[in-house]
A and B are shown apart, each in its own frame.
Chain A
């Protein structure tokens, strides 16, 4: 390749350098300086991504850069190589741009926090790892970024670690992610072992895409090996992207500072699973059952999370469940066979959900830490700009035209209809309606209605407001670029011919959801519903007892096993009691026994000496004859 392509490493180095500078000079950086450094680093990274993007456009082919061989063993070698194709270009641009805005916002939000520098160093580290994940040219390097963002997520969820709840939430996120990661790495190892039996291979995404067919006839434990690998990878994605059955960590992850929830737990990291599945879409596409499993799992997750969101009272928890539900939509798009659709929703969601989270942060900031929406009410008079921005985000997520959420969600729902899964289609429309309902409930309770408690609200500073405004502009406008986006992401977009029912039902569901939310608030009907369906409402309020089920099925037995078997028996009794103390006791008792031999009488020593000498002599004499 003669083309001198743009150096992709710059994109990653900028935030990594920011992280290094802020951590090393943490003691010297006073005030907001570290925030400015971090933001500048991410902005540089964004500029580099734009340059790489322009290069990609002019070159017309994916940019591939092999920097060095990371490690090799036998015929297998993993390279440190970066790739910049259409998918990673979109992802890199979205990640760096949204990150930059959230960095700026954080300067205002985290002002006066005593760990201001630590916050920005983690944030920069996160962006660096996210870009490794995005730009990696092979799944092994992707896994490095994958683990790295998990680490940063853990560090940032437990950022205010003095509160034990936050540390526990961080730990939960880390462990749930680890379960997913174990599936991911198992899938990768299976892929590598299957490929290595076929001769020379490489793990580059491009190579895999061209050569994955060599595995299509293989079986593993009686199942097509591609299905097994795909399923393992998808389970890995459910960990990172908070899908059933590993979604439980995301609501708890809201313990972190709100900009973290916006950046990591809404816009970027949680979509890594969708990105990974899109990257390896050819595998999933070729594997029997894999896409169907994704579609059904995502549909189930989406509906369940939306239902739970309806009865939450914490503004951030509602948004967290909404994120789970929306990522479900992205996976549904992938599962229906059009990953570009899922990817488009990923992009629009990154903007409008980041906006909603930042707006929630602004509200929390305005109310000095209050997160219960039923203690807000009538905020529109107090914080007008935040109100208008939230309005934008709300309309976008409800899927009303012309906001971006409409275009992306509608497209996915149409795709599902097109793929012939009518049942899943019905539930996706239903979920769209429920989404509109719970977001309206949130919006109405917090911003409209009457004042519900005695609060003193103050508008956030401009440094927080203008990043939100930019996000709002994108939330509104991004939908208009649907066709060019989809064709860039790798599909030919052509208007589909579908029955009117199919095209209009998502909007109708959205409007119904919104009206229902307003209707419930104004009438006595809500009391009636609460009384009639109290058992169902309790079930939903308790999040379908999933946490409790996990507690009984996994955590309690594990704790019991660890406590009784590993700790009490294995560690205390066998290792400590028999091995460690046993060794000491053996030495002690041997000493205690053998000290009695020492009579202190010289004649007995002499007797023993003589006897031993005689025996030794006998051995020599008779031994020589043998």
Chain B
């Protein structure tokens, strides 16, 4: 495993996630793209861990997994509340914040 390839993978994943985050018309997919972005960051940390020969980045990665899991839970519950209130999960139709 080449550390450079791993970092490249991370970049690709993060780009996909960012593009999806911006463009998707479905909040569920937006949330998924966020998870993807977080994991892309995790992969980047893995690549740095491989080059630095230290063990603490791996511990960080587990912490980020836990954070990502907790965040996903909160994100999903918010999403359920939104779908209950607005009867849609298309973000373009939820524009109460329009100034």
Contacts and interface: CB of A to CB of B under 8 A. Distances in A.
A27 interface: no
26 contacts: A595-B99, A597-B99, A598-B97, A599-B95, A599-B98, A600-B94, A600-B96, A600-B97, A600-B98, A601-B91, A601-B92, A601-B95, A602-B27, A602-B91, A602-B92, A603-B22, A603-B24, A603-B25, A603-B91, A606-B21, A606-B22, A606-B30, A607-B22, A610-B18, A610-B21, A610-B22
A524 interface: no
A603 B95 contact: no
A602 B99 contact: no
Contacts of A601: 91-92, 95, 98
A450 B28 CA distance: 114
How many residues of B sit at the interface, in one of the four size bands? 10 to 19
- Kindly list the 3 A-B residue pairs having the minimum CB-CB distance in the complex, ordered from nearest: A600-B98, A600-B95, A595-B99
A596 interface: yes
Nearest to A594: B99
A603 B89 CA distance: 12
Interface in A602-618: 602-603, 606-607, 610
Interface of B: 18, 21-25, 27, 30, 91-92, 94-99
B22 A596 contact: no
A367 to B, nearest CB: 79
A603 B23 CA distance: 6
Interface of A: 594-603, 606-607, 610
Contacts of A594: 99
- Interface residues of A: mostly helix, strand, loop or mixed? helix
Contacts of A597: 99
Interface centre among A595, A598, A603 (most CB of B within 10 A): A603
Contacts of B24: 603
Given A594-B99, A602-B27, 4 more contacts: A599-B98, A599-B99, A601-B91, A610-B18
Given A603-B22, A603-B23, A596 B91 contact: no
Interface centre among B22, B24, B98 (most CB of A within 10 A): B22
Contacts of B95: 599-601
A475 B9 CA distance: 118
A595 B99 CA distance: 5
Nearest to A611: B22
Nearest to B91: A602
A602 B98 contact: no
Contacts of B22: 603, 606-607, 610
A599 B28 CA distance: 21
Contacts of A606: 21-22, 30
Contact of B94 (A598, A602, A610): A602
A602 B95 CA distance: 8
Nearest to A597: B99
A602 B94 CA distance: 8
Nearest to A591: B99
Contacts of A602: 27, 30, 91-92, 94
Contacts of A596: 99
Contacts of B21: 606, 610
Nearest to B92: A601
A366 to B, nearest CB: 82
Nearest to A596: B99
Nearest to B17: A610
B17 to A, nearest CB: 10
Nearest to B24: A603
Contacts of B91: 601-603
B60 to A, nearest CB: 19
Nearest to A595: B99
Contacts of A610: 18, 21-22
B46 to A, nearest CB: 19
Contacts of B18: 610
Interface centre among B23, B94, B97 (most CB of A within 10 A): B97
Interface centre among A594, A599, A606, A607 (most CB of B within 10 A): A606
Nearest to B93: A601
Contacts of B94: 600, 602
B98 A598 contact: yes
Nearest to B18: A610
Nearest to B37: A610
